[in-house]
């Protein structure tokens, strides 16, 4: 069993403990995910049927990677029937087969955040509620938190405390809105993300025979990143594992960063209470990062009060110090990062995939994208507006959703007049009001247009437009019975007029929209092929739609391309990169303005900082800007308190600090929160070294004598030319570059520093170099 050989002692212990409750609580990079993976392999090697194993991961991508690794040990055939995926994807699948218990169609639609927000806005409109007072996003967050705590509409209505609390918060209509929203989703045959967990809980508690079936099936349950499970997820895991108690969770309380989404750090802290016989294993050796990185991370996280004390060390090289760059502006910061990546790529042979740029909020990406693009550095932004959130994609997907579930009125209204076919808002509103009055779906009204027509008050023109639209949808549905997903989608894109509509727009944006639709088609073909290869694959349209509703952009990573990764720290959890740029280290940005008023919030921000830092294997760069373009204006920024929490012995400053110290104008002092809160401290040891930034001229190297121009002899040797700094030249071996410095210290041997596009900077003696000016 070779796979056991690479494990250290506690890892081995965890992997080979096959039965009973087991918790691995350990710091970042200590091999928790690796242990989980190897443990599954070990279970299978020891004769456990993979069919009886369920593994829950943080992303679908992580699940895929684990499966590949397991397949290497136990063979592909064995790994095939493993159930692995995120909570949402696994339980969406279960709900699909059991939907009838809950009165849902098995082809229910999954609403993403935007879909559910749209439904919510309609509910607010229907109830005549002012959206300034009840901001839809805020209402959405509130409902989501109820759902994640298993507070159903009925539970809410029976809970005077909750009702009073909402009244005090001037939100007395929340209960009503919640009720209408749930009704509307139910009528649409749709579940939002939170429903996937809430309804699973409902299924398992209300129908003991269903629970028993899944308990029997999932005899071995494993959960990665357990610290970020919410109450709803916790209960599902608990219910499913309560018969056999073969439950293994791995996590790190210091990396719990999803409390805003209801994650409950106490799930991990209370594991021992739930399972008094549980075995706990701790892992102390970090295999990912250099000693400097691990030590720096330890020092910072030690400030948090609420945590298990852990000892984490690294046996890797000591490594470079963390480099800190102070930028003048957000653009300057982005240029520094792009330059640094470019230089390291050229000088140190680093691949672009070796780099990650991590930030606190999605809005920070643009400056980095601009800077990278200018340097032709390939990059990929994860999260944010994902591919499937783009309007043209959502439009086509809405058609497809309608084919699968015609009661999905959210989808129906999205496409009924898109592309425009003369079914305007007035007509749509009349349809909605009528459907509501009859308590039927919009699809039902359209199915029975002939009967309802006299009551709707539409003229013949409108009636025939509605009938045309609906018969087109029906025709697609018929086609779906015999043709595959790809063919149907192609037909939809064309016959609906969508493609033509997009193609008519010949602007670059318009063209890229058409390309995106093409990309969606490609991904469909890929999906069909993939499903056909799987033992229990399902190439149907509803399975495709489920797949995209639950895909995070992170899951779509094209593995083979060499590109820099840009993502929020939240998304970077569990990943690792040789070089990490942690950017925007400023007060009010990180820690975030929204999350620095209580100890709990600040501790969560600090955990986030810890997660970011521990993604790095070899090198970390911190950067901050002293002014930043934010909310439409330039604002002064101060360095983040987290910078001063890293011991100076682990840091090196790349440019001198102009201010004699970091002044924290926010006025927070350690007295308010107690001693775990850092006061900005004096930064005296700032190094005088300065890294080039494209906004500032490079300092001249000492002892060199710059000259304005110099002669070069053409390679043919028969003519000479003058070159100057800034000229573009070609070199036989190094290719094209730009002259950045001419040194005349030795007039006989004038040297040129040339920055080559692919080879980086080279110092050349002109009379030997054989350059051509271009």
Q: Is 253 in the site for ligand ATP (CB under 6 A)?
A: no
What is the β-pairing status of strands 577-582 and 313-314?
A: unpaired
Considering only residues 580-619, where is the footprint of ligand ATP by CB under 6 A? 614
- Is-contact 248 276, C-beta < 8 A? no
- How many residues touch Mg ion (CB under 5 A)? 3
Query: Would you say 33 or 109 has its CB closer to ligand ATP?
Result: 33
Selection from ligand ATP, Mg ion, none that 523 binds (CB < 5 to 8 A by kind) is none
Determine whether the annotation assigns residue 27 to a binding site.
Answer: yes
Determine whether the annotation assigns residue 92 to a binding site.
Answer: no
Considering only residues 30-49, where is the footprint of ligand ATP by CB under 6 A? 30-34
Considering only residues 526-585, where is the footprint of Mg ion by CB under 5 A? 574
Q: Is 288 in the site for ligand ATP (CB under 6 A)?
A: yes
Among candidate residues 32, 67, 96, 199, the one labeled active-site is 32
**Residue 67 a catalytic site member:** no
How far is Cα 308 from Cα 11, in angstroms, rounded to an integer? Answer: 19
What is the β-pairing status of strands 279-281 and 322-327?
A: unpaired
Among candidate residues 192, 194, 195, 224, the one labeled active-site is 224
**Residue 599 a catalytic site member:** no
Among candidate residues 225, 330, 354, 604, the one labeled active-site is 225
Helix axes 508-533, 541-549, angle to 10 degrees: 120
Determine whether the annotation assigns residue 751 to a binding site.
Answer: no
- Is-contact 697 620, C-beta < 8 A? no
Determine whether the annotation assigns residue 637 to a binding site.
Answer: no
Residue 247 is inside which H or E element, if any? strand 247-251
CB of 574 to Mg ion, least distance (A): 4
Considering only residues 142-171, where is the footprint of ligand ATP by CB under 6 A? none
- Is-contact 139 133, C-beta < 8 A? no
CA distances from 702 to 654, 656, 698, 699, 705 (A): 18, 18, 12, 9, 8
Considering only residues 348-407, where is the footprint of Mg ion by CB under 5 A? none
How far is Cα 305 from Cα 295, in angstroms, rounded to an integer? Answer: 18
Window contacting ligand ATP (CB under 6 A); options: 26-34, 136-144, 518-526, 731-739: 26-34
Q: Is 95 in the site for ligand ATP (CB under 6 A)?
A: no
How far is Cα 281 from Cα 290, in angstroms, rounded to an integer? Answer: 23
Biggest distance spanned by C-alpha atoms of the chain = 99
Q: Is 28 in the site for ligand ATP (CB under 6 A)?
A: yes
CB of 8 to ligand ATP, least distance (A): 5
How far is Cα 245 from Cα 4, in angstroms, rounded to an integer? Answer: 24
CB of 422 to Mg ion, least distance (A): 54
**Residue 225 a catalytic site member:** yes
Selection from ligand ATP, Mg ion, none that 30 binds (CB < 5 to 8 A by kind) is ligand ATP
Determine whether the annotation assigns residue 28 to a binding site.
Answer: yes
Selection from ligand ATP, Mg ion, none that 31 binds (CB < 5 to 8 A by kind) is ligand ATP
Those residues whose C-beta lies under 8 Å from the C-beta of residue 255, and which sit 6 or more positions away, are 28, 225, 227, 228, 573, 607, 610, 611, 614
Selection from Mg ion, ligand ATP, none that 28 binds (CB < 5 to 8 A by kind) is ligand ATP
Beta bridge partner(s), residue 25:
251
Determine whether the annotation assigns residue 464 to a binding site.
Answer: no
Query: Would you say 66 or 153 has its CB closer to Mg ion?
Result: 66
Which position's Cβ is nearest ligand ATP?
31
- Is-contact 753 701, C-beta < 8 A? no
- Dump the DSSP string for 433-491: HHHHHHT--HHHHHHTHHHHHHHHT--HHHHHHHHHHHHHHHHHHHHHHHS-HHHHHHH
Among candidate residues 401, 513, 615, 618, the one labeled active-site is 615
Selection from Mg ion, ligand ATP, none that 540 binds (CB < 5 to 8 A by kind) is none
How far is Cα 280 from Cα 275, in angstroms, rounded to an integer? Answer: 11
Determine whether the annotation assigns residue 20 to a binding site.
Answer: no
Identify the three-state secondary structure at position 504: coil
Window contacting ligand ATP (CB under 6 A); options: 28-36, 563-571, 618-626, 630-638: 28-36
- Is-contact 722 710, C-beta < 8 A? yes
How far is Cα 158 from Cα 386, in angstroms, rounded to an integer? Answer: 39
Strand order through the sheet with 247-251: 83-85, 53-56, 220-223, 247-251, 22-25, 279-281
Query: Would you say 6 or 701 has its CB closer to ligand ATP?
Result: 6
Q: Is 11 in the site for Mg ion (CB under 5 A)?
A: no
Token pair in block for residue 327: 């930028």
Query: Would you say 33 or 109 has its CB closer to Mg ion?
Result: 33
- How many residues touch ligand ATP (CB under 6 A)? 19
CB of 26 to ligand ATP, least distance (A): 6
Q: Site for Mg ion (CB under 5 A): which residue of 11, 33, 89, 298?
A: 33
Selection from Mg ion, ligand ATP, none that 410 binds (CB < 5 to 8 A by kind) is none
Query: Would you say 607 or 751 has its CB closer to ligand ATP?
Result: 607
How far is Cα 617 from Cα 358, in angstroms, rounded to an integer? Answer: 14
Token pair in block for residue 754: 């040339």
How far is Cα 162 from Cα 146, in angstroms, rounded to an integer? Answer: 10
Selection from Mg ion, ligand ATP, none that 563 binds (CB < 5 to 8 A by kind) is none
Query: Would you say 156 or 308 has its CB closer to Mg ion?
Result: 308
Window contacting ligand ATP (CB under 6 A); options: 22-30, 188-196, 525-533, 536-544: 22-30
Q: Dihedral (C-alpha) 591, 595, 600, 602: value to the nearest 10 degrees?
A: 10
Window contacting ligand ATP (CB under 6 A); options: 23-31, 99-107, 543-551, 708-716: 23-31
CB of 90 to ligand ATP, least distance (A): 20
- Is-contact 477 403, C-beta < 8 A? yes
Identify the three-state secondary structure at position 560: coil
- Is-contact 453 463, C-beta < 8 A? yes
CB of 299 to ligand ATP, least distance (A): 18
Query: Would you say 31 or 189 has its CB closer to ligand ATP?
Result: 31
Token pair in block for residue 19: 């039965």
Determine whether the annotation assigns residue 319 to a binding site.
Answer: no
Q: Render the burial of 195-215: b for 16+ CB within 10 Å, e for the rest.
A: bbbbbbbbbbeeeeebbeebb
How far is Cα 574 from Cα 572, in angstroms, rounded to an integer? Answer: 6
Query: Would you say 57 or 386 has its CB closer to ligand ATP?
Result: 57
- Is-contact 613 620, C-beta < 8 A? yes
**Residue 33 a catalytic site member:** yes
**Residue 615 a catalytic site member:** yes
Considering only residues 557-576, where is the footprint of ligand ATP by CB under 6 A? 574, 576
Annotated binding-site members for ATP: 26-33
Active-site residues, by number, are 32-33, 224-225, 255, 615
From the annotation, which residues make up the binding site? Answer: 26-33
Binding site for Mg ion (CB under 5 A): 32-33, 574
Where along the sequence are the contacts to ligand ATP (CB under 6 A)? 6-8, 11, 26, 28-34, 252, 255, 287-288, 574, 576, 614
């Amino acid at each position: 069993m070779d796979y056991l050989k690479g494990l250290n002692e506690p890892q081995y212990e965890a992997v080979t403990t096959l039965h009973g409750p087991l918790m691995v609580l350990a710091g970042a990079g200590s091999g928790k995910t690796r242990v989980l993976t190897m443990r599954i392999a070990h279970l299978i090697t020891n004769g456990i049927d993979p069919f009886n194993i369920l593994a829950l991961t943080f992303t679908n991508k992580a699940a895929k990677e684990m499966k590949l690794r397991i397949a290497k040990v136990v063979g592909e055939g064995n790994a095939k029937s493993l159930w692995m995926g995120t909570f949402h994807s696994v339980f969406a699948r279960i709900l699909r087969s059991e939907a009838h218990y809950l009165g849902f169609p098995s082809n229910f639609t999954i609403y993403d955040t935007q879909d559910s927000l749209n439904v919510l806005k309609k509910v607010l409109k229907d109830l005549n509620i002012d959206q300034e007072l009840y901001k839809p996003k805020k209402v959405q967050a509130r409902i989501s938190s109820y759902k994640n705590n298993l507070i159903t509409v009925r539970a809410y209505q029976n809970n005077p405390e909750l009702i009073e609390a909402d009244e005090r918060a001037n939100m007395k209509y929340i209960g009503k809105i919640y009720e209408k929203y749930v009704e509307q989703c139910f009528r649409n045959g749709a579940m939002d993300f939170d429903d996937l967990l809430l309804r699973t809980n409902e299924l398992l508690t209300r129908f003991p025979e269903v629970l028993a079936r899944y308990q029997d099936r999932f005899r071995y349950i494993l959960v990665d990143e357990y610290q970020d499970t919410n109450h709803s997820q916790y209960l599902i895991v608990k219910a499913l594992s309560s018969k056999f108690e073969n439950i293994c969770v791995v996590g790190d309380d210091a990396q719990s960063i999803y409390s805003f989404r209801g994650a409950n750090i106490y799930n991990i802290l209370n594991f021992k209470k739930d399972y008094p016989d549980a075995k706990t294993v701790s892992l102390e050796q970090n295999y990912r990062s250099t000693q400097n990185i691990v030590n720096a991370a330890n020092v910072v996280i030690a400030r948090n009060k609420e945590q298990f004390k852990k000892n984490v060390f690294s046996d890797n090289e000591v490594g470079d110090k963390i480099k800190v760059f102070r930028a003048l502006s957000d653009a300057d910061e982005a240029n520094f990062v792009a330059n640094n990546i470019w230089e390291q790529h050229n000088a140190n042979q680093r691949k672009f995939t070796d780099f990650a740029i991590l930030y606190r909020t999605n809005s920070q990406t643009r400056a980095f994208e601009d800077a990278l693009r200018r340097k032709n550095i390939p990059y990929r932004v994860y999260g944010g507006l994902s591919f499937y959130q783009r309007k043209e994609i959502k439009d086509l997907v809405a058609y497809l959703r309608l084919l699968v579930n015609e009661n999905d009125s959210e989808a129906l209204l999205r496409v009924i007049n898109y592309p425009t076919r003369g079914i305007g808002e007035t007509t749509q509103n009349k349809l909605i009001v009528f459907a509501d009055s009859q308590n039927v779906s919009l699809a039902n009204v359209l199915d029975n247009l002939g009967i309802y027509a006299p009551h709707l008050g539409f003229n013949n023109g409108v009636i025939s437009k509605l009938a045309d639209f609906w018969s087109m949808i029906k025709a697609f549905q018929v086609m779906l019975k015999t043709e595959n997903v790809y063919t149907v989608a192609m037909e939809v894109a064309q016959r609906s007029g969508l493609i033509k509509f997009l193609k008519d727009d010949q602007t670059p944006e318009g063209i890229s929209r058409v390309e995106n639709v093409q990309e969606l088609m490609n991904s469909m073909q890929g999906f069909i092929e993939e499903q056909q290869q799987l033992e229990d694959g399902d190439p149907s349209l509803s399975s495709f739609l489920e797949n995209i509703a639950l895909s995070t952009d992170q899951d779509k990573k094209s593995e083979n391309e060499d590109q820099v990764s840009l993502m929020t720290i939240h998304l970077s959890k569990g990943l690792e990169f040789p070089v990490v740029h942690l950017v925007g280290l400023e007060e009010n940005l990180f820690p975030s303005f929204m999350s620095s008023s209580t100890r709990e919030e600040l501790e969560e921000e600090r955990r986030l900082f810890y997660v970011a830092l521990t993604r790095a294997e070899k090198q970390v760069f911190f950067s901050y800007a002293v002014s930043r373009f934010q909310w439409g204006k330039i604002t002064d920024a101060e360095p983040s308190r987290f910078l001063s929490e890293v011991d100076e012995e682990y840091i090196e400053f790349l440019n001198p600090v102009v201010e004699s110290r970091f002044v924290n104008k926010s006025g927070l002092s350690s007295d308010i929160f107690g001693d775990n809160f850092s006061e900005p401290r004096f930064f005296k040891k700032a190094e005088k070294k300065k890294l080039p930034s494209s906004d500032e001229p490079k300092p001249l190297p000492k002892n060199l004598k710059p000259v304005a121009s110099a002669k070069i002899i053409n390679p043919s040797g028969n003519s000479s030319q003058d070159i100057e700094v800034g000229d573009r030249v070609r070199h036989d071996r190094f290719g094209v570059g730009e002259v950045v410095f001419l040194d005349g210290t030795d007039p006989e041997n004038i040297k040129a520093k040339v920055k080559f596009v692919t080879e980086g900077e080279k110092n050349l003696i002109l009379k030997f170099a054989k350059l051509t000016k271009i």
